[in-house]
Structure 1
């Protein structure tokens, strides 16, 4: 399976608390729900298309708990997102989670890179990460994410957790797809393309 990451970002790279004001106020974050004014049908269309490609989900503890508090109550096979999340295998990475009651959930408590590598080596379509910033950052640093689906919204917050925090392992990206929605969100699909290369404009003839 290839590992894909989908996440929502502000122009200044914040990924924390996009959905609701109470989704994730950790660290004193006061801007929860910043994505709501920009939601449109194009977001829904792409979200459903990608969820339909999932064979399993890989989540960090915080994202898992947010999802587990909402999606089990959403029923109906016609809801692609709910049906996928509620029925497919879910792997949550956590050293503090005592139990995971959401159907078909396995807790990964140790040897995260080894366990994820084994999941990645299995046959199938996509092992999907949604949100889960700390987990995504670790896997990015180790070259274990095959595709990034980034939704960048026209808002600047100035604070909050970011996907690309200082200290990330340098990596070049190849742009596989890009489009702009009617609300001004830019969807960019990237695939890692090895180490960055460098040059010097002052050396040009």
Structure 2
């Protein structure tokens, strides 16, 4: 079986919209795109490379797929870990409107819960999601996410699409990794740990 791992950049207040550039995603009138640029350093880059090396396949939302497909196929440096993995490994794009996907080794899926559950049954490395906020919400709702790699940037934006918006299905997590970069980015990894438990502080539960 494959683990489904969500990888994303978030602000301190949980915004994940348009981290890479001003024009990446202006939906909803978002004007803060490109907020990772002043803080993304070699340590963060090395962590992303480590993550990508564990991938067996990729699952992307339509918007993220289109951003990636417009950039990564043009990166031909064989030593670029991210480009080499993205350009060669199987990719699945979740979309009800996309007719076809021209990026090499890409398949369009329509029924996300059923088809992703089937993909997880296949052997191989991690099934990785990068960005893809709307898709992530669907995966959480259907209890399909096994782990998260979060890079939290020292920025508060106040508006924008959030990783865990109001109404997200509750869940407990277990911390498996943490480190901090020289620019203040906090890198954390979590595995799911069932449902939340509750009690009163100071009393046995």
Figure out how many residues of one structure are paired with residues of the other and give that number: 203
Q: C-alpha deviations, 1:80-128, integer Å up to 9, x for none? A: 100111111100000011221111110002x211100110010111111
Shift in Å, 1:52: 1.1
Shift in Å, 1:26: 1.1
Residue ranges of structure 2 left out of the alignment (5+ in a row): none
User: TM-score when scaled to structure 1?
Assistant: 0.96
The reply to whether residue 24 of structure 1 matches residue 25 of structure 2 is: yes
Q: C-alpha deviations, 1:121-172, integer Å up to 9, x for none? A: 1011111100011111111122211110000011000100001011111101
Q: C-alpha deviations, 1:30-67, integer Å up to 9, x for none? A: 00000000010011111111111111100000100010
Superposed, 1:13-52 pairs within 5 Å as 13-52=14-53
Residue ranges of structure 1 left out of the alignment (5+ in a row): none
Please report the RMSD computed on the Cα atoms of aligned residues, expressed in angstroms.
1.1
Task: Work out the CA distance in 1 between the residues paired with 2:106 and 2:47.
Answer: 25
The reply to whether residue 11 of structure 1 matches residue 12 of structure 2 is: yes
Superposed, 1:25-174 pairs within 5 Å as 25-109=26-110, 111-174=111-174
User: TM-score when scaled to structure 2?
Assistant: 0.96
> Moved runs in structure 1, 4+ residues, more than 4 A?
none
Task: Work out the CA distance in 2 between the residues paired with 1:99 and 1:133.
Answer: 21
Task: Work out the CA distance in 2 between the residues paired with 1:166 and 1:58.
Answer: 24
Q: Secondary structure at the match of 1:55?
A: strand
Shift in Å, 1:201: 3.0
